[in-house]
């Protein structure tokens, strides 16, 4: 079990952050299902690799390298044909959803051997398109549990957003797993001076790491007040953050009145599903749903109210988190020998990073070529 001394101490970031290695035998959220329309090619760069997505004739999502094997032109500049083939926009070669070249309109029509585009296993679950970019056999049981996003979940899910963050995804994981920063970076919106002090507990259950924060009898920040009684009166609040490797976070928050039963609360379930695009950019998929019996129930389902909550969420991530994390990454690169001094509040982030380091190291060890025996 990981323990963190309450006093400051050195704790370097893992080598995988420094070298920009990725865990590959896992599922990454490529986009929301609603973003992948029939009849369209959708380009996306994931794990530093340009990809193109589309739906086949049955409506199933397909992902392949965004590169024609002929002259290596990007397929995203081509066309998805009515018969489900992808036509390269440069010389017209056509590819089936399997990636195999099935038509060469040039000259005698000869198709060179191995003229195909690499494809990836893709599935839809929890209203997201997930992609497996590793060499191991895809295991759908490894898709993290976000069933509250499903259409039949009973939750009224608000707007589904994807924000591009200008930093490495692992710094966003740190940011989410230590929400003590909300009292400063999001002062008045997600936290305030009274929410600085919290009872913090860290635990691990299977593949998930949880960080529980409880703040009692505090003045509610704006978002909590909007989701509760909107009277500014002191409240008890909790944040229960769940991480699963490599980068999917569920934030379970709740607010209730001091001296009342904890079950009489108003809260929100929020997904923070991160997909590394490049070493400097991350796709941040987010959506939230109300939960609990109390709060502004009269506005449940009110699209205007849900839009306001979504705008506040986007503002916090893009206008407050993003500039800070981008500047942090710049500092780290300018001072490659520097190591952060960890505090007690860093127990959750450190555990997640160590787990991820171990998974990446184990994966890379398996992929190392066999060495010739020493004579």
% of the chain residues with pLDDT over 90: 80
Tokens of 306: 């849900």
At residue 124, the pLDDT reads: 98
The Cα–Cα gap between 242 and 203 comes to 10
Which is higher by pLDDT, 54 or 309?
54
d(C-alpha 277, C-alpha 281), whole Å: 5
**What are the boundaries of each domain within the chain?**
37-122, 147-361
Q: Is the pLDDT of residue 297 over 90?
A: no
Average predicted confidence (pLDDT) for the chain: 90
Confidence of residue 122 (pLDDT cuts 50, 70, 90): very high
Q: Do domains 37-122 and 147-361 have the same CATH topology?
A: no
Q: Is the pLDDT of residue 10 over 60?
A: no
Quick: pLDDT tens for 356-366: 999 999 998 87
Across 8-17, 200-209, 270-279, 320-329, least confident range: 8-17
> Above 90 in pLDDT, residue 322?
yes
> Given this model, what pLDDT does residue 2 score?
36
Q: Is the pLDDT of residue 18 over 80?
A: no
Give the per-residue pLDDT at 20: 58
What pLDDT score does 309 carry?
87
Q: Is the Cβ–Cβ distance between 164 and 293 less than 8 Å?
A: no
Q: Please write the tens of the pLDDT for every residue from 300-310.
A: 457 788 888 88
Question: Could you count the other beta carbons within 10 Å of the beta carbon of residue 118?
Answer: 12
- Pairwise CA distance, residues 147 & 153, whole Å: 7
* Residue 129 burial (C-beta neighbours within 10 Å; 0-12, 13-18, 19+): buried
Interatomic CA distance for residues 15 and 33, integer angstroms: 33
Task: State the pLDDT at residue 339.
Answer: 86
Question: Would the pLDDT of 247 be above 50?
Answer: yes
The 3-class secondary structure across 15-52, one letter per residue, is HHHHHCCCCCCCEEEEEEHHHCCCCCCEEEEECCEEEE
What CATH class is the domain 37-122? Answer: mainly beta
Q: 147-361 adopts what CATH topology?
A: Naphthalene 1,2-dioxygenase Alpha Subunit; Chain A, domain 1 (3.90.380)
What pLDDT sits at residue 206? 83
> pLDDT tens, 196-215?
999 999 999 988 999 999 99
28 strand-pairing partners = 131
Looking at residue 365, its pLDDT comes to: 86
């Amino acid at each position: 079990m990981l323990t963190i001394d309450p006093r400051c101490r050195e704790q370097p970031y893992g080598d995988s952050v420094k070298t920009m290695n990725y865990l590959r035998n896992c599922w990454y959220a490529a986009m929301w299902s609603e973003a992948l329309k029939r009849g369209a090619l959708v380009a996306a760069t994931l794990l530093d690799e340009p990809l193109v997505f589309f739906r086949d004739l049955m409506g199933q999502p397909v992902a392949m390298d965004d590169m024609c094997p002929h002259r290596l032109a990007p397929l995203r500049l081509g066309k998805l044909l009515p018969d489900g083939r992808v036509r390269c926009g440069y010389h017209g070669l056509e590819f089936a959803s399997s990636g195999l070249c099935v038509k060469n309109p040039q000259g005698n029509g000869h198709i060179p051997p191995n003229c195909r585009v690499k494809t990836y296993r893709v599935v839809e679950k929890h209203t997201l398109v997930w992609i497996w970019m590793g060499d191991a056999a895809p295991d759908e049981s490894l898709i993290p549990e976000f069933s509250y996003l499903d259409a039949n979940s009973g939750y009224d899910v608000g707007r589904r957003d994807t924000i591009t963050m200008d930093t490495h995804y692992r710094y966003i994981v740190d940011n989410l797993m230590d929400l003590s920063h909300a009292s400063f970076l999001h002062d008045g919106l997600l936290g305030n001076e009274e929410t600085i002090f919290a009872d913090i507990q860290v635990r691990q259950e299977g593949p998930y790491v949880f960080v529980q924060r409880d703040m009692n009898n505090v003045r509610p920040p704006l978002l909590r007040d909007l989701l509760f009684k909107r009277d500014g009166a002191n409240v008890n609040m909790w944040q229960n953050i769940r991480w699963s490797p490599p980068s999917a976070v569920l934030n379970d928050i709740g607010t209730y009145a001091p001296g009342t039963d904890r079950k009489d609360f108003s809260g929100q379930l929020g997904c923070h599903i991160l997909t590394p695009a490049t070493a400097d950019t991350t796709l941040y998929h987010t959506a939230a749903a109300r939960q609990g019996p109390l709060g502004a129930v009269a506005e449940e389902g009110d699209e205007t109210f849900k839009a306001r909550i979504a705008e506040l969420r986007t503002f916090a991530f893009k206008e407050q988190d993003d500039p800070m994390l981008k500047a942090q990454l710049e500092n780290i690169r300018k001072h490659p020998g520097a190591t952060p001094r960890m505090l007690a509040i860093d127990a959750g982030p450190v555990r997640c990073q160590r787990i991820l380091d171990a998974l990446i190291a184990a994966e890379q060890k398996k992929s190392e070529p066999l060495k010739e025996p020493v004579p």
